[in-house]
Amino acid sequence: MDLEAQSIVSIDTGMASDIATECNKLLETQKQINTVEEQLKKLKESETTLSEQTIPNLMHKAGVEKFKLANGGPLVEIKPFYSARIPASKTDEAFSWLRENGHGDLIKNQVTMEFGMKQDNEAKSIVEELKQKGLPVQQKQTVHPSSLRGFVREQIQDLGKDVPAELFGTYVANKTKITTKE
């Protein structure tokens, strides 16, 4: 008997119908999930437009930074919002800029090595000694996202300085904050 003939299995037609029904339910469920995810995406875009553009622009035109809605309603205020992320393609350039401008302390260095069994003594040596011995040393440099965001906020808001947006992926906006009593 050949392999193809061995792989043929007979299935009860009632079971095949049940499987087909459940597969159709799965497809419909996946379709509903995609629809809801698309609706959620549109709602989030609408929220961003209202929070970062429409309401701040209206309040700016009215000349107010915060106010309380009528009848003891929530407090509405506009607060600055900062975001920053170093694009992978700009890491070296961004780190150079930070170092050249006196902010190199934001950069975290992580040096890791892998050791086999019975290499505990070598693990206790300093990185340069390990490099001289030809052991595999890896160095990873990072800037923590919270530190970068705080740095960008400080430079722009507190010190009035510019930071290269193309290096740090900076995004600055005003956001609406509504505080309700709970």
pLDDT digits (tens, 9 = 90+) for 171-182: 888 887 777 775
CA distance 47 to 53: 10
Looking at the DSSP bridge assignments, the partners of residue 81 are 173
Looking at the DSSP bridge assignments, the partners of residue 66 are 77
What distance lies between CA 6 and its chain's CA centroid?
A: 51
Average pLDDT, integer, range 50-79: 90
The percentage of residues in the chain with a pLDDT greater than 70, rounded to a whole number, is 82
pLDDT of residue 2 exceeding 80, the answer is no
The percentage of residues in the chain with a pLDDT greater than 90, rounded to a whole number, is 45
Backbone angles phi, psi at 32, to 5 degrees: -65, -40
> Residue 109's pLDDT is what?
81
Q: Write out pLDDT tens, residues 98-129.
A: 999 999 999 988 777 666 666 666 666 665 67
**Confidence grade of residue 134 (pLDDT, cut at 50, 70, 90):** confident
How many CA atoms does the CB half-sphere of 97 hold within 13 Å? 14
> Residue 146's pLDDT is what?
92
**Confidence grade of residue 3 (pLDDT, cut at 50, 70, 90):** low
- Which range has the top average pLDDT, 44-58, 69-83, 117-131? 44-58
**Confidence grade of residue 73 (pLDDT, cut at 50, 70, 90):** confident
Structure tokens at 179: 């505080």
Is the CB of residue 113 less than 8 Å from the CB of residue 123? yes
> Residue 4's pLDDT is what?
57
CA distance 68 to 74: 6
How far does the chain reach from its first CA to its final CA, in angstroms? 74
**Confidence grade of residue 13 (pLDDT, cut at 50, 70, 90):** confident
